[in-house]
Amino acid sequence: MAKDNHAIENDYTPLAYDPQYILMVNRLKKYFPIKGGMISKTVGYVKAVDGVSFNLRRGTTMGLVGESGCGKTTLGRTVLRLSGGKSGGEVLFNGQEIYDLSAREMRAMRTKMQIIFQDPFSSLSPRLPVGEIIGEAVREHNLVPRNEFNDYIDRVMDNCGLQPFHKDRYPHEFSGGQRQRICIARALALNPEFVVCDEPVSALDVSIQAQIINLLRELQERYKLTYLFISHDLSVVEHISDSVGVMYLGSLVEYGTTDDIFARPLHPYTAALFSAIPIPDPDAKMKRIILRGSIPSPANPPLGCKFHTRCERCMEKCRYAAPDWIEVEPGHFCACHLYNDAAADARAEEAVSAARASGAVPEAETEVL
């Protein structure tokens, strides 16, 4: 029987709030409709975030890594409710499902959840002086009394390494690193608890990157901030993160503490990704795993394990059955049939039989290039 591509499954067990976590994400989905035909009907979906689950401890940093287009930005924006509606699952912020909030309640919640983008220039209005840029939302939300406003902005600028007497200057008068400091100051001025940092240093010179990373760490310490830190740069992620999530084609394939993930990557995709990190010791030997083929389209992900078309260790069941998300070691999660327990293996066998009975035809493995 042909699969109905237009119905979005929304299967999840609602979470019980655990106060140690500022953010609890449960089977979250964000699908973008693909329109086609004369009357612009939905003919499919780009499954940018496809059933992602993780819990983020208060005051910690979670790194999020994966190839370009795997859904990192969409995940960051969806947990902040910046991408319209979600397509499934839950996002609990301090125990509150943010998608249940009214527009007014969400507006108030916005101060608690902020985002810093990769390109500081395009996210700053060129027509406003930086004092206004930093203070605009503070004023809008009435966060400080009117007579304390100027002092408050000076203090925020100072905390972010900006000279308060520069507040009448415009963004183009600052360097790239200073502009990112302005973006950080703008986010911080709202006194947030949680900040999504989407590639915050990727557009900066290497010499400036460390300064901005150090600033983010100092601010985290001082204000007990929680970060979701998205980056291509695995060395930066290792440096700044307490935990790491590895994303592939809209799904998390592995999640654990930074130490566990870097010392013992479990998932074959993580192993391949991490094998490309340059090692400073010239005597150390590390086998680079070359990923075969290209990343499939999130509009038509492979059946079974989404990574099976590129995996060196692909087994027959991988081509038909999606692996379960299993806690392989305490706090170290992975979705791969190599780590199945007996129950997961039985579920996989059942899924293989059902898929075969339905006539499903999985993608062949990609030719070795």
Interface ranges with ligand SF4 (CB under 6 A): 267-268, 305, 307-308, 311, 313-315, 318, 323, 336-338
- What is the DSSP secondary structure assignment for residue 19, as one 8-state letter? T
Cβ at position 172, least distance to Mg ion in Å: 25
Q: Which does 336 bind (CB under 5 to 8 A by kind): ligand SF4, Mg ion, ligand ATP, none?
A: ligand SF4
Cβ nearer to ligand SF4, comparing 200 with 304: 304
Give the 3-state secondary structure of residue 288.
Answer: coil
Cβ at position 117, least distance to ligand ATP in Å: 11
Q: How far apart are CA 29 and CA 31, in angstroms?
A: 6
Cβ nearer to ligand ATP, comparing 27 with 167: 27
Distances (CA, A) of 120 to 174, 206, 208, 210: 11, 16, 13, 16
Cβ nearer to Mg ion, comparing 73 with 258: 73
Q: Are 134 and 164 in contact, with CB atoms under 8 Å apart?
A: no
Cβ at position 221, least distance to ligand ATP in Å: 27
Cβ nearer to ligand ATP, comparing 48 with 219: 48
Distances (CA, A) of 289 to 94, 218, 256, 271, 308: 40, 36, 21, 8, 15
Nearest partner of 9 among 80, 125, 87, judged by Cα: 87
Cβ nearer to ligand SF4, comparing 120 with 302: 302
- Residues making up the chain, counted from first to last: 369
Long-range contacts of 265-271 (CB under 8 A, 24+ apart): 266/328, 266/332, 266/334, 266/336, 266/338, 266/339, 267/307, 267/334, 267/335, 267/336, 268/307, 268/311, 268/312, 268/313, 268/336, 268/338, 269/307, 269/310, 269/311, 270/246
Q: How far apart are CA 167 and CA 334, in angstroms?
A: 47
Cβ at position 68, least distance to ligand SF4 in Å: 20
Q: Which does 264 bind (CB under 5 to 8 A by kind): Mg ion, ligand ATP, ligand SF4, none?
A: none
The residues in 27-46 that bind ligand ATP, with binding defined as CB under 6 A, are 32, 46
Structure tokens at 349: 């066998």
Helix H or strand E segment including 133: helix 130-140
The residues in 105-164 that bind ligand ATP, with binding defined as CB under 6 A, are none
Q: Which does 313 bind (CB under 5 to 8 A by kind): Mg ion, ligand SF4, ligand ATP, none?
A: ligand SF4
Give the 3-state secondary structure of residue 174.
Answer: coil
Interface pattern 51-90 for ligand ATP (x via CB under 6 A): ---------------x-xxxxxxx----------------
Cβ at position 313, least distance to ligand SF4 in Å: 4
Q: Which does 298 bind (CB under 5 to 8 A by kind): Mg ion, ligand SF4, ligand ATP, none?
A: ligand ATP
Q: Which does 314 bind (CB under 5 to 8 A by kind): ligand SF4, Mg ion, ligand ATP, none?
A: ligand SF4
Cβ nearer to Mg ion, comparing 193 with 198: 198
Cβ nearer to ligand SF4, comparing 28 with 322: 322
Give the 3-state secondary structure of residue 306.
Answer: coil
Binding positions for ligand ATP, rule: CB under 6 A? 32, 46, 48, 66, 68-74, 298
